[in-house]
C-alpha cells in the first residue's frame, strides 16, 4: 500500500519533473502504475523508489524516462474528433493555402503526440489538401511526447485496427500498407513527420519549436494543475507565429488560463489564434 | 417548434439570473456565460440564436468578444445586443464598430428588452 507520506513525496517529485499532477483521489492510479516497476527494480517500497529516482546517479535519468512512460496515458487514434480536423482544414484553406508562402514551409506541431496518430493524421490531411489544389506546398509536421515508449511506437508507424477505426477506406488504401492485420504507414507520409522527445513543462526544450503555424495540443492539459497549464500554454504561445493557431482538447478550456489568445468559433469547435 | 436560445454573458450572477428569469417567462431557452472567453467556448458547443453581452468583464470584455465572434469561421452573423450601464457615446460607437447589432443601457425595462429581441429574432417558442 502506498502510504500518504510516500504518495506526497512521489507526487511532488513527479510534479516537479513533469508538471503532471496526481490529486489525492488518484492515489490508486499512481500506485497501480508504479507497483510493477518497483518490483522490476527489486525495490521494496515506494519510499525506496523515490530515493532511487532522486539519488540513483547515472540511472536516475534513465529511470525518469521510465517514470514518464508510466505516468502518461496513450489513448489516441487517427482522425480523432472530426470537427477539430475540419477546423484545421478551414484554417489551412482560408489562411495558408491561398497565396501564402511561408519561408521554409508550413510548420505544424502535435504537442503530446503519443504513438503518432495525430501528427500522421495532420500530415495526411495536408497531403490530401495540397494534392487536391494541385499545388505542392512545403510543410513539416513535428510530433513530440514525454513518453519514449510512445515515441518509439510512433517512429515504427505500424498501427492496429483500433487506431484506424475512424479512417476512411480511401485514406487507408492511399497511405497505408495492410498486412497481417496491421496497418503500416507509407514512407510518403512518414517523411513529412519528425517525432521527438519533449517535456512540455520545461521551457528550455521549446527552443527548437519556434515559428509554428499550427499547434495541436489535445487532451494534454488535463494532466496539469492550474499553474502547470498556464506554463504550458505560455510556452506554446511563444512557439507560435503571430496569427498562428492553437487547438486544445474538446473538453479542455483556456478560460482563466491565457488572455493572449483570441478564441475563434468553427462548426462544432473552437480554436485559439495568437494575437 | 424548438425554443430559441439566448446566451446571457455577464460577470454578475445576479444580472444573469434576472435576465434569465425575464427571458424564460417569454419562452426563450437561456444559457449563461460569465465572460467573453466563456461565451466563445459555449458558442462552440451549442447552437444559440442571440447573445446579450455586458461590456466590462474579466478575461475577455464585451467588445473583444464581439470582435472575436465576427472574425470567426462559423456563426459570425449571430445577433448581439450589448447591455451595459455605460452610455458613453465613444463606447457605443466602438461597440457598433466591433459589430454589435444593438446597444442598450442598464437598467432596461423588460418590455423594451423583449421588444428589441423580438425585432431581431422573433418571439420565444
Mutate to test the interface with A, among B61, B74, B75 (most CBs of A within 10 A): B74
Q: Check CB contact under 8 Å for B41 and A266.
A: no
Instruction: Please give the pLDDT value at position A260.
Output: 87
**Residues A144, A195 contacting (CB under 8 angstroms):** yes
Pairing of strands A182-185, A176-179: antiparallel
Domain assignments of chain A as residue spans, ordered by start: 4-71, 82-274
Q: Check CB contact under 8 Å for A266 and B76.
A: no
Q: Average pLDDT in the A2-29 region?
A: 85
- pLDDT confidence bin for A137, thresholds 50/70/90: confident
- pLDDT confidence bin for B104, thresholds 50/70/90: very high
**Residues A254, A233 contacting (CB under 8 angstroms):** yes
Here the cell at position A30 is 499512481
Order of all β-strands in the sheet with A139-145: A193-197, A139-145, A106-111, A212-217, A240-248, A269-274, A261-266
Q: Average pLDDT in the A215-243 region?
A: 94
Q: Does B47 touch chain A (CB under 8 A)?
A: no
Instruction: Please give the pLDDT value at position A6.
Output: 85
| CATH number of the domain located at residue range(s) A4-71 in this protein | 1.10.155
Torsion of CA A147, A150, A154, A159, to 10 degrees: -170
- Domain with residue B106: its CATH number is 3.40.50.2300
Q: Average pLDDT in the A202-223 region?
A: 93
What percent of chain A lies above the pLDDT cut of 90? 63
Here the cell at position B90 is 465613444
pLDDT per position as a tens digit, A70-80: 888 878 999 99
Residues 77-136 of A with CB under 8 A from B: 87, 90-91, 94
What percent of chain B lies above the pLDDT cut of 70? 98
Helix (H) / strand (E) element for A196: namely strand A193-197
Alpha-carbon span B84 to B103, nearest angstrom: 8
Instruction: Please give the pLDDT value at position A25.
Output: 83
Q: Average pLDDT in the A139-164 region?
A: 96
Here the cell at position A12 is 511532488
pLDDT per position as a tens digit, A25-63: 888 888 888 888 999 999 988 889 999 998 877 788 889
Instruction: Please give the pLDDT value at position A178.
Output: 95
Alpha-carbon span B64 to A87, nearest angstrom: 21
Q: Check CB contact under 8 Å for A265 and B38.
A: no
Question: In Å, how far are A171, A252, B56 from A125, measured between CA atoms?
Answer: 10, 23, 41
Residues 11-30 of B with CB under 8 A from A: none
Sign of the torsion formed by the C-alpha atoms of B89, B95, B97 and B103: negative
Total number of domains in chain B: 1
Q: Average pLDDT in the A149-166 region?
A: 96
Counting one residue from chain A and one from chain B, the pairs whose CB atoms sit within 8 A come to: 51
Same CATH topology for A4-71 and A82-274?
A: no
Q: Would the pLDDT of A108 be above 80? A: yes
Sign of the torsion formed by the C-alpha atoms of A16, A19, A25 and A31: negative
Instruction: Please give the pLDDT value at position A61.
Output: 84
CA distance B68 to chain A (A): 6
Q: Largest alpha-carbon pair distance within chain B?
A: 40
Q: Average pLDDT in the A161-179 region?
A: 96
Q: Which residues of B touch A89 (CB under 8 A)?
A: none
Residue, of A100 and A251, whose pLDDT is higher? A251
Q: Would the pLDDT of B1 be above 70? A: no
- Give me the residue label for grid cell 528550455: A204
- pLDDT confidence bin for A109, thresholds 50/70/90: very high
- pLDDT confidence bin for B29, thresholds 50/70/90: very high
This prediction's pTM: 0.90
Alpha-carbon span B43 to A270, nearest angstrom: 9
Q: Would the pLDDT of A96 be above 90? A: no
Instruction: Please give the pLDDT value at position A101.
Output: 67
Q: Would the pLDDT of A97 be above 80? A: no
Q: Would the pLDDT of A112 be above 80? A: yes
Domain span at B114 = 5-121
Q: Average pLDDT in the A142-158 region?
A: 96
Q: Check CB contact under 8 Å for B73 and A259.
A: no
CATH architecture for residues A82-274: 3-Layer(aba) Sandwich (3.40)
Sign of the torsion formed by the C-alpha atoms of A152, A13, A57 and A38: negative
- pLDDT confidence bin for A100, thresholds 50/70/90: low
Q: Which residues of B touch A91 (CB under 8 A)?
A: 73
Mutate to test the interface with B, among A246, A251, A263 (most CBs of B within 10 A): A263
Q: Which residues of B touch A270 (CB under 8 A)?
A: 40-41, 43-44
Amino acid at each position: 500500500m502506498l502510504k500518504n507520506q510516500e504518495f506526497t513525496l512521489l507526487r511532488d517529485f513527479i510534479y516537479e519533473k513533469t508538471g503532471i499532477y496526481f490529486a489525492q483521489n488518484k492515489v490508486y492510479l499512481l500506485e497501480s502504475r508504479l507497483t510493477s516497476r518497483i518490483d522490476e527494480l527489486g525495490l521494496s517500497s515506494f519510499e525506496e523508489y523515490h530515493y532511487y529516482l532522486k539519488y540513483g546517479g547515472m540511472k536516475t535519468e534513465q529511470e525518469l524516462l521510465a517514470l514518464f512512460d508510466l505516468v502518461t496515458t496513450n489513448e489516441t487514434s487517427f482522425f480523432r474528433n472530426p470537427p477539430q480536423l475540419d477546423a484545421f482544414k478551414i484554417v489551412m484553406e482560408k489562411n495558408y493555402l491561398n497565396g501564402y508562402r511561408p519561408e521554409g514551409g508550413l510548420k505544424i506541431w502535435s504537442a503530446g503526440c503519443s504513438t503518432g496518430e495525430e501528427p500522421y493524421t495532420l500530415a495526411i490531411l495536408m497531403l490530401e489538401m495540397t494534392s487536391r489544389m494541385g499545388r505542392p506546398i512545403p510543410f513539416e509536421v513535428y510530433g513530440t511526447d514525454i513518453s519514449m515508449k510512445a515515441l518509439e511506437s510512433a517512429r515504427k508507424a505500424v498501427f492496429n485496427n483500433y487506431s484506424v477505426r475512424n479512417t476512411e477506406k480511401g485514406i487507408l488504401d492511399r497511405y497505408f500498407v495492410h498486412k497481417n492485420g496491421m496497418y503500416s504507414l507509407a514512407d510518403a507520409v512518414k517523411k513529412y513527420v519528425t517525432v521527438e522527445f519533449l517535456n512540455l513543462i520545461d521551457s528550455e526544450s521549446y527552443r527548437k519549436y519556434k515559428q509554428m503555424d499550427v499547434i495541436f495540443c489535445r487532451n494534454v492539459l488535463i494532466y496539469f494543475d492550474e499553474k502547470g497549464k498556464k506554463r504550458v500554454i505560455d510556452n506554446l504561445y511563444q512557439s507560435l507565429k503571430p496569427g498562428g493557431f492553437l487547438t486544445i482538447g474538446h473538453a479542455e478550456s483556456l478560460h482563466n488560463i491565457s488572455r493572449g489568445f483570441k478564441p475563434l468559433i468553427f462548426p462544432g469547435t473552437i480554436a485559439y489564434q495568437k494575437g | 417548434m424548438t425554443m430559441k436560445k439566448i446566451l446571457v454573458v455577464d460577470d454578475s450572477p445576479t444580472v444573469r439570473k434576472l435576465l434569465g428569469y425575464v427571458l424564460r417567462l417569454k419562452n426563450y431557452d437561456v444559457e449563461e456565460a460569465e465572460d467573453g472567453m466563456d461565451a466563445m467556448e459555449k458558442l462552440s458547443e451549442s447552437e444559440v440564436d442571440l447573445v446579450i453581452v455586458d461590456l466590462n468583464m474579466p478575461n475577455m470584455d464585451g467588445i473583444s468578444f464581439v470582435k472575436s465572434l465576427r472574425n470567426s469561421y462559423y456563426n459570425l452573423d449571430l445577433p448581439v445586443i450589448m447591455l451595459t450601464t455605460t452610455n458613453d457615446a465613444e463606447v457605443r460607437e466602438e461597440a457598433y464598430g466591433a459589430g454589435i447589432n444593438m446597444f442598450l443601457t442598464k437598467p432596461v425595462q423588460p418590455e423594451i428588452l423583449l421588444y428589441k429581441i423580438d425585432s431581431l429574432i422573433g418571439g420565444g417558442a
